A = this chain, B = another copy of it.
Amino acid sequence: MRDVSIIGIGQTPVLENWEKSLRHLAADAVLAAMHDASIDRADMLFVGNMLSGEIAGQEHLGTLVADFVGLRGIEAFKIEAACASGAAAVRMGYLAVAGGMADIVIAVGVEKMTDESGEVVTAGLALAADGDYEVPHGLSFVAINAMLMQRYMYEYGLERADFANFAINAHRNAAGNPNARFHNQITAEQFINAPTICAPISLMDSSPIGDGAAAVVLCPTEQARAFSSKSVRIVGSAVATDSIALHDRKNPLRLLAAEQSAYKAYRQAGIGPQAIDFFEYHDAFTIMAALSLEASGFAEPGQGTRLAREGEIFLDGRLPTATMGGLKGRGHPVGATGVYQIVEAAMQLRGECGPNQLPAPRFGMTQNIGGSGATIITHILRAEE
C-alpha cells in the first residue's frame, strides 16, 4: 500500500449559481485543482454527486466532466453515497492510488441544487433516507434530524440554546471565507429567535443548500514533491456504514459509523483524537455536529454541546471546527460538501486560510455524513514536514 498525498485543490464559491451548468461548476473546480497541482493529465476521475439526475437532469457525470475538462478518454465514474458522495469520490481516488492502480487521480464533488423548487430539493434529499420505511410515513430529512435533536435534548436535559455556538462559530468562520455562502455573523439572540423549520430544529440549526464544486488531485506521496511543494498527506481514510433507517439502530444518538470510521482512521494515522488540531465536521444540522464530536472521541455522550458552549470549537479553542464555515456557513451543496471539507483542511495545513488560519496545525480531520449517519467517511490529513 502506497502513501497518498493531495497535490492540488480547487473550489468554486457556494451560492445560487444560475449562470453555470453542472459541468461548468465541476470544471471550474477541477481545472483549478489541476492548475494548482501543475498537471495536464490524470489516470482517473471520480465525481461525487447525489442529485444530478433528480435536479440537474443529468446522469453519467464521469464522462461528462472528464470530457469537459479536456481529459476525454480517461476512466471516470460518478460515486453516490447521499450527502457523503463527495468524500466517497476522494475515497475511491485514495483506493486507486494507494493500491497502485493509478498514479494521478482527480476527485471532484459537485452539486447544483438551486435551479429547482424547494419541494423538489426536499424530495430529493429524502432519497438519502429509507424509501420504503421512512419517507412514505412523511419523514423529510430535516424531520429525521429533528427527531434526533429532540431525543438528545430529552436524554441529556438540554435546551435549544445549548446548540447556539455551533451556528455562531460557523457563521463567524464563514465570514472569513470568500467561497462561503453566508458572510453574516449571528448572535445567540438571533439563534434563539430563528423561525422553526421542524421543531426543535430552527433555521439557524440548518445548513443551506447551494450550487458548488470542489476538487482534489491525488498522487503517491513519493511522487508528490515532483508536482507540488505544498502537498498534504492523507494519513487516514476510512468508511463505515450503518442501517439506512433511524429506527433500525439500537441507540440512534450513537453514530456508530462515525465511531468506526474515525477510529479506523486514527489507527491508520497512528494517533488518537487528542492529536487532531481541527475538525471539519458535518454540521448539516447542529445536532449532527454534536453527535459527530461525541462519536469521534472528542466528547463523552451528551457532552458534544459542552464543547460548543465553552467555546472549545472556536478558532482559538482547543478543537477548532468548521474553520471555513462548515456546512452551516460555507453552505451544503450535498454531493460536493465532502470535498469542500477536505479542500479546506488542506488549506489549513498549507497555511492558506487567511483570517481563519490556525497557527501551524499538524493534523486535520474531516467527517462527511450520508443520511442520518448511514454512511460516514473520515479522513485525516497531515501537513508535510
Whether A95 lies near B101 (C-beta < 8 A) is yes
Interface residues of A (CB under 8 A from B): 1, 21, 23, 50-51, 53-54, 56-64, 66-67, 72-82, 88, 91-92, 95-96, 98-101, 124, 127-132, 135, 239-244, 248, 256-257, 260, 370-371, 374-375
Cβ contact of A73, chosen from B1, B50, B82, B240, cutoff 8 A: B240
* 17 A-B residue pairings within 8 Å (CB atoms): A1-B101, A53-B54, A56-B131, A57-B131, A59-B127, A60-B375, A63-B241, A63-B242, A66-B241, A72-B241, A72-B242, A73-B241, A73-B242, A77-B91, A78-B79, A95-B95, A95-B96
Contacts of A243 on B, CB cut-off 8 Å?
63, 67, 72
Told that A58-B132, A73-B242 touch, could you supply 17 new A-B pairs with CB distance under 8 A?
A: A1-B101, A53-B124, A53-B127, A58-B127, A58-B131, A60-B80, A60-B374, A62-B241, A63-B241, A63-B374, A64-B244, A67-B248, A73-B260, A78-B80, A78-B81, A95-B99, A98-B101
- The complex places the Cα of A285 from the Cα of B58 at a distance, in Å, of 22
Copies in the complex: 2
- The complex places the Cα of A128 from the Cα of B103 at a distance, in Å, of 28
A23 and B78 contact, Cβ closer than 8 Å, known pairs A67-B243, A98-B99? no
Contacts of A74 on B, CB cut-off 8 Å?
240-241
- The complex places the Cα of A357 from the Cα of B269 at a distance, in Å, of 51
Contacts of A132 on B, CB cut-off 8 Å?
21, 23, 58
Contacts of A53 on B, CB cut-off 8 Å?
51, 53-54, 124, 127
Contacts of A82 on B, CB cut-off 8 Å?
59-60
A257 and B64 contact, Cβ closer than 8 Å, known pairs A79-B78, A101-B95, A131-B57? no
- The complex places the Cα of A175 from the Cα of B72 at a distance, in Å, of 40
The 9 A-B pairs with the shortest beta carbon distances in the complex, nearest first, are A99-B99, A58-B131, A59-B127, A75-B239, A63-B241, A60-B82, A78-B80, A63-B374, A57-B131
Interface of A is mostly: mixed
- The complex places the Cα of A73 from the Cα of B260 at a distance, in Å, of 8
- The complex places the Cα of A248 from the Cα of B100 at a distance, in Å, of 33
A51 and chain B: residue at smallest CB distance: B53
Which one of A82, A96, A99 has the greatest number of beta carbons of chain B within 10 Å? Answer: A99
Whether B54 lies near A54 (C-beta < 8 A) is yes
- The complex places the Cα of A248 from the Cα of B67 at a distance, in Å, of 10
Contacts of A100 on B, CB cut-off 8 Å?
1, 99-100
Whether A75 lies near B131 (C-beta < 8 A) is no
Cβ contact of A81, chosen from B21, B77, B371, B374, cutoff 8 A: B77
